[in-house]
Amino acid sequence: MTDAPTLQALARALERSQRRVGELEALVRQLAADVTTLARSHPSAGASDPAAGEGGRPVGGWLGVSDPDVATGGLQDLMSWVEAVYLWYPDAELPSCWLWHPAVVEELWWLHGAYASAFDESAGSWSRIGDWHERFRPGVVRRLHAAVGGCELALHTPDSTLLVPPVAPLPDAASGIAHSWTNGRRLPEPTPYELLAAARHEREQHRKNHR
């Protein structure tokens, strides 16, 4: 028959064991919460990043995308968002040729990313949502109206200047500029050829802006 001191010792040992089990359970719950938080802030490769938009569209821009699959998925995701969110605002209008304007796609691409980031359940905030409503969306609307207001798909004909890729003015001057700038922060005097090229460029810009 077990004596009283032995029973008391067993009871104390059992109490300690139960207390340690409780502490371990609490630690496991905390570790699980930490893992979830880390997974949200550092998604693994191939996982969907809420800040990058629905469908896992990577952070970046339309103008720099080079993978056809990424471009296709990004545009499909963007079109769904444009219909679900952007076009519900009364001042948000898009011409029929919006997909033919890389700058328009770029503007909406990042606006979509900013929207996803602001409204994300773990990283978003009311302040970021307010910024999206007050600054980001109205800014994009203004720029799109100024850039493509009045345009339509019929204007994107083979002889249209809209289909000509943009070229940075005077690319041949880059080497001389680079050497002069890195050698005493000086800029070279324009050559006669560069002045003629600049004049042609400015005439083209004038015709483009007043067509």
Residues 83-97 have pLDDT tens digits of 999 999 999 989 888
Asked, for residue 1, whether it belongs to a domain, the answer is: no
Residues 139-195 have pLDDT tens digits of 999 999 998 888 888 888 776 666 566 667 788 888 888 888 888 888 888 888 888
Q: Do 54 and 144 fall into the same domain?
A: yes
Place 44 in a pLDDT band, splitting at 50, 70 and 90.
very low
Q: Do 62 and 146 fall into the same domain?
A: yes
Triad 78, 84, 87: Cα angle to 5°: 90
Place 35 in a pLDDT band, splitting at 50, 70 and 90.
low
Q: Do 173 and 143 fall into the same domain?
A: no
Q: Do 66 and 148 fall into the same domain?
A: yes
Place 54 in a pLDDT band, splitting at 50, 70 and 90.
very low
Average pLDDT for residues 6-17, to the nearest whole number?
72
Evaluate if pTM is beyond 0.75: no
Q: Decide which of 16 and 76 is more confident.
A: 76
Domain containing residue 33: 10-42
Taking Cα atoms as reference points, which of 142, 140, 118, 136 lies closest to residue 128?
A: 118
Q: Do 147 and 196 fall into the same domain?
A: no
Q: Do 23 and 73 fall into the same domain?
A: no
The stretches of 42-124 forming alpha helices (DSSP H) are: 68-84, 102-118
For the chain, the domain total comes to: 3
Which of the 8 DSSP states describes residue 148?
H
pLDDT of residue 49: 41
Kindly report the number of other CB atoms within 10 A of residue 35's CB atom. 10
